[in-house]
Amino acid sequence: MASTPNAVSEQRVGAVRRIRNFWERVTEGLAVGQLWGQFKAEAQASYGLYSRDVDWEEIRKERKSWKRPFRAGWALFQAMLMKLSPARRVLLLVAIVSFVATLNFGSGDHPVELNFGGLGVVILFVLLALELGDRVTMKRDLEIAREIQQWLVPSSPPVIPGGDIAFATRPQNTVAGDYFDAFLRTSPSGEPDAHRLIVSVADVAGKSVPAALLMATFQSSLRALSATAASLEQVAVGLDRYARAHSLEGRRFTTAFLAQIDPETYAMEYVNAGHNDPILRRASGAIERLSIGGPPFGLPLFTDAETLYPSGRVQLAPSDLLFIFTDGVIEAVNESGEEYGEQRLLASLQTAPPMPAADILKRVMTEVNTFVGYARQHDDITCLVLRVA
C-alpha cells in the first residue's frame, strides 16, 4: 500500500527532529562559531603539550629549509606516539601502515587487489575507545577529588555586620591549587569570636592533583592554627613551618594573603606571604596595595633562624573595597597570547559603581572571561571581594 503524502511529510519531519536532537546532544547547544573557538583552544593546548618534547633548536639547524616542516611534523608525531603505552604505539603504527598497504595477487586477466584501509579504521576506532576509557575513568576520579576539594572551601560567604564578602574560582583543571576562605576564629572557650574574622586567599605552586593535595593540607593547617590563641604573625610562621615540611625542598611553595578583621571596627591586620598585592580601593577612589609580610610559605631556609612574617595594619572605612586575587587573574591570556594584566584589573575596580561585593566580583570575572574567550588558561583564577557598607 502506497504511503500518503501526509504520512511521508510526517516521516520527514520526524527524521529532521531526530537529527536535530542528536546534533544538540553532540554540540550541547553550542553554535558553530563557539564550537570552532573551542576546537582552536583545545588544538593550541594539545600542540603546546606535544611541542614541549620537540628539540626545535635541532630542527632550526637544518640547512635545507624545505626539510624543516617535515622534520617538525615527524618530531611532533613521535612526541604524540610516546604519550601512548607501548602496546598502543604498535597499534597506531599498524593502523597507519594499513591505510597505505595494498596486497596484489592473481595474474592475467583477473588480478586481485586487497586494500587494508578498513582494518586501519577499525584499529583507530579501538585506540580511540581505549583512550576514551582512560579519560572517562580519570575524569571520574578528578570529579570525586573536586567534590572533596569543594568541601574544604566555604560554599557561601559568612554574614558580617556592616559589610559583605563574595568569592569565586575558575580552576584551570578539574581540581585547583587555589584556596580561599573566610571564617571566625574561635575564642578560648571554643565559641566563634565575633571580633576576629579570618580572610585568606592562597595559591600553591603547581597544577592539578599535586597542588590540590597541598591546598588541602594548607586549609587544615590554617584552620588548626586559627583555633589557637596565636597572633596572626604566629599563625603565618606556623604555616611556613608546616609548608616547609611538605614542599619538596621548596618546589611546592605557597603564596598567601592572610587578614584578620574586627567586623565591629573594621580594623584589619594582614600578612602577605609572597602573594599578589591585594587592591584596597578607598571610598575616594584612591588605590592602596597591601604588601607587608614575607616570602612565600615553604621556601627552604638558608639559616637556622625561622622566617618572620611582620604584619601590616589598615583601617577599613565605609564604602572601601578590598579585592584579593591570585596571579591567574592578571596572567589570564587571550587567543593572541596577550595577558589581561593589572592595568585592566585596576581600571575595572576604579570605575566600578557602588554595588554589592557579589556584583563587583561578577563584573570582574565577566570582563576576564570576555577577554580570554575560548583560550585555555594555564593557571587557576580566584578572587575574593570584601566591601564595607
Q: Average per-residue pLDDT in the chain?
A: 86
CATH code: domain of residue 371:
3.60.40.10
Q: Are residues 185 and 246 in the same domain?
A: yes
The pTM for the full model equals 0.74
Q: Are residues 367 and 356 in the same domain?
A: yes
pLDDT at residue 339, rounded to an integer: 92
- Residue 210 domain flag: yes
Q: Are residues 135 and 258 in the same domain?
A: no
Instruction: Check if the beta carbon of residue 306 is closer than 8 Å to that of residue 240.
Output: yes
Which amino acid is located at 369 in the chain?
A: N
- Residue 19 domain flag: no
Q: Which domain holds residue 280?
A: 156-388
Long-range contact pairs involving 35-40 (C-beta distance under 8 Å, separation at least 24): 37/373, 37/374, 38/374, 40/335, 40/374
Q: Are residues 137 and 174 in the same domain?
A: no
Which residue intervals of the chain are DSSP H helices?
5-27, 32-51, 56-60, 68-81, 86-100, 117-152, 208-226, 232-245, 327-330, 341-350, 357-372
Q: What is the pLDDT of residues 11-62, one digit of tens each?
A: 788 888 888 888 888 888 778 777 787 788 788 878 888 888 889 988 888 8
- Residue 52 domain flag: yes
Q: Are residues 305 and 380 in the same domain?
A: yes
> What is the percentage of the chain residues whose pLDDT exceeds 70?
93
Q: What is the pLDDT of residues 228-282, one digit of tens each?
A: 989 999 999 999 988 888 766 656 789 999 999 999 999 999 999 999 999 999 9
- How many domains, the chain? 3
Q: Are residues 76 and 100 in the same domain?
A: no
Q: What is the pLDDT of residues 175-197, one digit of tens each?
A: 677 889 999 998 777 788 888 99
Model confidence band, residue 105 (pLDDT cutoffs 50, 70, 90)? low
Q: Are residues 200 and 315 in the same domain?
A: yes
Q: Are residues 328 and 221 in the same domain?
A: yes
- Residue 5 domain flag: no
| Cα angle 378, 381, 387; round to 5 | 160
